[in-house]
Amino acid sequence: MSFSTPRFRRVLLKVSGEALMGNRQYGLDVDMVERVAGEIRSVQSMGVQVCLVIGGGNIFRGISGAATGMERATADYMGMLATVMNALAMQSALERIGVATRVQSAIPMSSICEPYIRRRAVRHMEKGRVVIFAAGTGNPFFTTDTAAALRAVEMGCDALLKGTQVDGVYTADPKKDPRAERYDSLGYLEVLSRDLKVMDASAITLARDNNIPIVVFNLHHAGGFAEVMLGRGLFTIITNEA
């Protein structure tokens, strides 16, 4: 179903760190960061309040560091710092195109960004600013997926959107299995029981317990974010009703 006005008033967009690599093997692709910033601006210009959580896997992934023998908590803290770097890069790209942006970190680092304060973040969005939540939850052993679900709940978001490299949730990896079929809609429990790897289980459970729809779409499709907000294009929506 398509809409003439945005279907959600306030949303959180979860972007993986890998999405910002473009065709690189590591780090940030400036063109890709700027393209994502443009997608965000197009949605914000529709009157939608937008906040973001960005992963850090393009720089350092905590669980990978732990796999090499590094102490897990230390590795996770390093991963959190990677998310701060990505958040600052996105802030810079957004502000270059005229979008007022604030970065709030769950780990206080007052020289470069604000500490996470829920009421302040809500006020920023009410004033038309984009807020980027960095450093995950501030605690080791939690992923940025969980951080995204947590912040979406705290901000009173109408939906949690996950931008990926495919246009929804499939029965299998469509890049590896040409017979994979896309779901238009799913229930939270279906995602968990089928182990569909949309987000980690704690993130799905948080969204389910607070009745926040999760919308999975292709962030690499030009205009895809805005299309989803209008109920158009291809995506998978995960709710209690599916």
pLDDT per residue as tens digits for the range 110-130: 999 999 999 999 999 999 999
pLDDT band at 68 (very low <50, low <70, confident <90, very high): confident
14: which strand partners?
A: 53, 162
Query: What is the tens place of the pLDDT at every residue in 131-164?
Result: 999 999 999 999 999 999 999 999 999 999 999 9
Vertex 89 angle, CA 86 and 12, to 5°: 60
CA distance 164 to 90: 17
Query: Six-digit token pair at 98?
Result: 């005229």
- 185-227 confidence digits (pLDDT tens): 999 999 999 999 899 999 999 999 999 999 999 998 999 999 9
Q: What digits encode the pLDDT tens for the residues 12-55?
A: 999 999 999 988 999 999 999 999 999 999 999 999 999 999 99
Residue 82 three-state SS: helix
Q: Which residues are annotated as a binding site?
A: 14-17, 56-57, 61, 76, 137-144, 164-165, 170, 173
Round to the nearest angstrom and report the end-to-end CA distance of the chain: 15
Residues 6+ apart with CB under 8 A from 92: none
What's the pLDDT score for residue 61?
Answer: 83
**Average pLDDT of the chain, as a whole number:** 94
What CA–CA distance (Å, rounded) separates 135 from 130? 17
pLDDT classification of 242: cutoffs 50, 70, 90 = low
Known binding site for UMP: residues?
56, 76, 137-144
pLDDT value for 202: 96
Map tokens 């939690």 to a residue: 142
pTM: 0.94
The pLDDT value given to residue 241: 73
Which is nearest to 214 in space by CA: 153, 173, 129? 153
Q: Which residue has the tokens 């600013």?
A: 129
CA 82 to chain centre: 15
Listed in sequence order, the residues at least 6 apart from 209 whose beta carbon sits closer than 8 Å to its beta carbon are none
How many CB atoms within 10 Å of residue 65? 18
Q: Which fold has domain 10-239?
A: Carbamate kinase (3.40.1160)
Q: How many residues does the chain have?
A: 242
- Backbone φ and ψ of 68, nearest 5°: -90, 0
Bind-site residues for ATP:
14-17, 57, 61, 164-165, 170, 173
> Tell me, what's the pLDDT at 15?
97
Residue 87, CA distances (Å) to 16, 41, 204 in order: 11, 16, 23
**Contacts of 178-184 spanning 24+ positions with Cβ under 8 A:** 182/234, 182/236, 183/236, 184/236, 184/237
Structure tokens at 56: 């850090």
